[in-house]
Amino acid sequence: MNSLLRNGVILELILFTVLEFCWGQNSGIESVNLNAERENQIWKAVNSNKTINIPATVPGGIYTDLEKSGLLSTPIYYRFNDLETRWVAKENWTFSRSFNVTSDLLSKSRIGLVCHGLDTVSEIFVNDVSVGTSDNMFVRYIFSIKDFLKLGNNTIDIKFQSPVEYAQKAWEKQSSDYPVLPRCVPANYNGECHANHIRKMQASFAWDWGPAYPSSGIYKDIYIEGFNGALVRDSLLFITSNVSRPSYTRATTWNVTAQVYLEVADPYEPGTIRLEVSTKNGSVVFEQDVILTENQVVLNISVNVTGDQVNLWWPNGYGKQPLYTVQVLYTSNNYGETSLKSMEAGFRFVELVQEDIDFTDVEKGLTFYFRVNGWPIYAKGSNTIPIHVLPERVTQEMTEWLMESAKEANMNMLRIWGGGIYESDNLYSLADKYGIMIWQDFMFACSMYPANTEFLESVKKEVDTQVKRLHYHPSIVLWATNNENEAALRGNWYGTFLNYSRFAADYIKLYIDTIKTEVNKLDPSRECLPSSPSNGLETEDEGWIAKNPYSNLYGDVHYYNYLADGWKWSIYPRTRFASEYGFQSWPYQHTLYSVIDKDQDAYWNSTMMNHRQHHPLGQAEMRLQMQLHLPFPRDHKDTSTFETMLYLAQVTQSMAVKAETEFYRRLKGLLYSSGEGLNMGALYWQLNDIWPGASWASIESNGRWKMLHYYARNFFAPVILSPFINQKGEVEVYTISDSKDRIQALLRVRLFQLDSLTPLKDYEILIDVDPVASAQVLLIPILFFEECENSVSICLLYFTMFNVPDNFLFLTYPKERAVIQNPNIRIEEITSVETATNGSTFAVKLSTEAIAPFVFLNNQRNDITGWFSDNGFVMVNPIQTVYFQSKNYLPIDEFKEGLEIVSLHDVIDL
């Protein structure tokens, strides 16, 4: 069901967030936490022939267990360990432990084993009796085990099949005349084959930015619970308003309806269901007596909340994110048991607006943007991949740092990419807190997939589990059924044209008839896109597989071009919404030195570097971008140029993504005669790294910001200046605003040659910046640059405006060694600054004698978490102070000791 139809009819619903169900919140219900380690009751992991028998951690995974036991090289990402440990994924592993059962637990009429994360294909035994199987990493399984328990000591064994062998056998079992393609990932990935045949993190079989570690284990909570009455298993919540159209004005009344899913042990047992919503002034409560007549019951219970009792939830940069507690409580009258689901709610309107650009000419396409509480929102952000290839390695601190970094970079949207995992509850709760909208893919990416009955049933359970788990978060604004599979099918990426009609029928059966249908049933308040990229409503009109899924007139587009000039805006598509785009780089050298051998591996095309570069031709493409724009080392294969090459790769990545993003933001207010333009979203690929290696990320796997992330903070700022050279050779400057306020300020433009800190021209103009607008404010004539025409130096324009990030524009690329002067950059002093934060803040005072392009500061230590106030900048003033904010306390001597600084001049003699 579409929340916004082509004729403009809007289904207006509002959603809010709920904390994941916790069995410990219940009263009178007996439980056994199988995560806990007790004497003689710890988990053990054993391989098939029992030659390995080691302690296991739950939640956890087999790679971590083996590493802790000293059976794998440490650290796990060091050099070629991803190949040397490949045997682990080809073993069957059994996880076992004993546990105690009391008479109180045995007395309960229903006892279930609840498994939130079994990775992946397993059979579960209690006291040597099979109680069920699993085949999907993303499904919550509940097995009835009362009949198999005994008083006192009991055993549980979970026997996992090798994910690699299971996928291989599934490939072999399929019909030979209709293989589900592709047969394998590209050889450069150094991965395993047939990930599309197992419902597991697809990237765990390797991707073009990460290694293959197809793990086995219990990666989420597992516990036993017994009860006599009923349990609240899930609760979908819907809020409707009495206003006819979404508006930033407060609604008069909200209706809050909880659709409560109860598991019933004693049908016809009387009980009470209670819904309570906290507000600014207290709480609103409704309570109802019920008699539960079946084993599985769905109840609807509602309350009304007046509009003045709550404030609206806004995306980052548009307002605050108030959250309100919502509780659903079931009380058993006969047994005195209670089952509680506690929730944090955020009230907001969200629409995905797909309307005709021109009602008189439908060939010009449809809009594609998000409107929140009546405001058009320009989506600014990135795409996330799994934080670690082994889910158990992801800590709360890692997730918090990632989300805090996104917020600090002025992002308001993240796309959870479809080849990884549905993220932790912690990530979505932080998105709620920080106002980061979530575009949520389902976990299908870059492949065709089976569509047999068994596979579709498993997928249906997956959708049911994840939508019920995540539905409540106000941050989630969109579902998408897959990543790039519509484009892959239509574009014949894997040879699907040989049997196109069969692949197309199965595509629709999986994504439309199963996933989208199930999502629409459970969550009719959000749009569910058929794919990404996709033409949205136009894709639906074309029978769910568009002739051109990359159309600039509809939906979202993924765009990559590594062979053209990445700093040139004119190569990029005039798309409605850019949901993927980017360029590669490498991490900072000291990040790499933690996982490579500095003596053997530290040169550009070493065996180790090529092993870490999973993208075909990736090293050559990065080298091309460097040679187009910057001084290039004379011998890039030499170890002495290694750190230079890493630095240049980060510069070219940052500048290319900057050019592309600013182009998309300028398109916000531009409509071409073709119908192209009116861009309302820029989500670059990608936010985070899964390991230290070549990737498109702006944040390294240890949390360090790359140069790109500093650039992102500037090009995603609420108001930016965006200069560029138009096709006539003139310089245009746009002001782009996502602010709700009108701004009036002086724009200063300075023209420099790189050999002098004294500007050739210095010009100021008073400008008005309209709210939520993109507008050209200045056209600089060619005569402005007459001093540069016959100069041997490079000219640079530098733009400043109060409370807006500085910006710059090279009139020609700084690729000639002779024109780059030695700036003699020095750190004059470093002082500690008192702040209200818990961490440490240091002021770093820099001096320069000449224009210094791409000044980049870093600390050699990999355990320091923090960011600079600016980095990768062009230094045009003789003195400049930047600040470093450490998240945790850091002695100033430790910060000073590891501080490094580099600029473009430092590479020209190499």
CA atoms of 826 and 489, how far apart (whole Å): 55
Catalytic residue among 91, 484, 527, 660: 484
Query: Which whole number is the average pLDDT over 39-62?
Result: 93
Residues 6+ apart with CB under 8 A from 892: 830, 831, 832, 840, 842
Report the mean per-residue pLDDT for the chain.
93
Task: With CA atoms as reference, report the closest residue to 870 among 721, 758, 709.
Answer: 709
With tokens 């020609």, the residue in question is: 812
Query: Which whole number is the average pLDDT over 109-126?
Result: 98
Beta strands in 148-252 (DSSP E): 152-160, 205-207, 210-212, 217-218, 222-227, 230-241
Residues 6+ apart with CB under 8 A from 606: 600
CA atoms of 116 and 138, how far apart (whole Å): 8
Query: Which whole number is the average pLDDT over 340-347?
Result: 91
Q: What dihedral do alpha carbons 239, 240, 245, 251 form, nearest 10°?
A: -80
- Pick 774 or 273 by higher pLDDT: 273
Phi and psi at residue 624, in whole multiples of 5°?
-60, -45
CA atoms of 133 and 121, how far apart (whole Å): 7
List pLDDT tens digits, range 395-423. 999 999 999 999 999 999 999 999 999 99
Cα 502 to Cα 242, 304, 452, 827: the distances in Å are 46, 50, 12, 65
Query: Which whole number is the average pLDDT over 312-319?
Result: 96
Please say if the pLDDT value at position 96 is more than 60. yes
The pLDDT of residue 455: 98
Active site residue 580: yes
The pLDDT of residue 878: 97
What is the pLDDT confidence band of residue 175, given thresholds at 50, 70 and 90? confident
DSSP code of residue 794: P
- Pick 837 or 412 by higher pLDDT: 412
> DSSP alpha helices (H): ranges in 314-443?
396-408, 425-434
Query: Which whole number is the average pLDDT over 846-859?
Result: 96
Lowest mean pLDDT among 92-101, 186-195, 340-349: 340-349
Query: Which whole number is the average pLDDT over 54-62?
Result: 96
CA atoms of 258 and 233, how far apart (whole Å): 13
Q: How many residues does the chain have?
A: 910
The pLDDT of residue 814: 93
Please say if the pLDDT value at position 14 is more than 60. no
CA atoms of 829 and 847, how far apart (whole Å): 10
The pairing of strands 379-384 and 681-684 is parallel
Please say if the pLDDT value at position 189 is more than 80. yes
Please say if the pLDDT value at position 30 is more than 90. yes
Task: With CA atoms as reference, report the closest residue to 756 among 814, 821, 824.
Answer: 821
The pLDDT of residue 839: 86
pTM of the model: 0.95
CB 367 within 8 A of CB 352: no
The pLDDT of residue 786: 83
The pLDDT of residue 781: 82
Please say if the pLDDT value at position 2 is more than 50. no
In terms of Cβ atoms closer than 10 Å to its own Cβ (0-12, 13-18, 19+), residue 249 is exposed
* Residue 497: both structure tokens together: 């044209």
List pLDDT tens digits, range 788-815. 876 677 899 999 999 999 999 999 999 9
Task: With CA atoms as reference, report the closest residue to 660 among 748, 558, 813.
Answer: 558
The pLDDT of residue 6: 33
Cα 166 to Cα 214, 327, 449: the distances in Å are 11, 42, 15
Please say if the pLDDT value at position 378 is more than 50. yes
Cα 480 to Cα 416, 438, 442, 574, 907: the distances in Å are 10, 11, 6, 22, 44
Residues 6+ apart with CB under 8 A from 480: 418, 439, 440, 441, 442, 528, 529, 530, 531, 532, 534
CB-based burial, 218-229: b 16+ in 10 Å, e otherwise:
bbbbbbbbbbbb
CA atoms of 490 and 859, how far apart (whole Å): 47
What is the pLDDT confidence band of residue 120, given thresholds at 50, 70 and 90? very high
CA-based torsion, 128, 132, 137, 142: positive or negative: negative
**Domains contained in the chain, CATH given:** 17-23+228-345 (2.60.40.10), 30-107+109-224 (2.60.120.260), 357-719 (3.20.20.80), 820-910 (2.60.40.10)
CA atoms of 521 and 741, how far apart (whole Å): 40
List pLDDT tens digits, range 209-255. 999 999 999 999 999 999 999 999 999 999 888 776 655 556 678 89
Please say if the pLDDT value at position 504 is more than 80. yes
* Residue 103: both structure tokens together: 């008479």
Cα 318 to Cα 243, 378, 445, 510, 739: the distances in Å are 21, 11, 32, 37, 7
Q: What whole-number percentage of the chain has pLDDT above 70?
A: 95
Tell me if residue 260 falls in helix, strand or coil: strand
The pLDDT of residue 783: 76
The pLDDT of residue 644: 94
Query: Which whole number is the average pLDDT over 107-120?
Result: 97
The pLDDT of residue 252: 79
The pLDDT of residue 8: 31
Q: What whole-number percentage of the chain has pLDDT above 90?
A: 83
Cis status, amide bond into 891, omega within 30 of 0: no
- Pick 632 or 690 by higher pLDDT: 690
* Residue 458: both structure tokens together: 């498993």
* Residue 302: both structure tokens together: 């509602």
Catalytic residue among 192, 351, 392, 580: 580
Active site residue 165: no
List pLDDT tens digits, range 421-479. 999 999 999 999 999 999 999 999 999 999 999 999 999 999 999 999 999 999 999 99
Backbone region of residue 279 per phi and psi (left: phi > 0; alpha: psi in -120 to 50; beta: other values): beta
- Pick 819 or 650 by higher pLDDT: 650
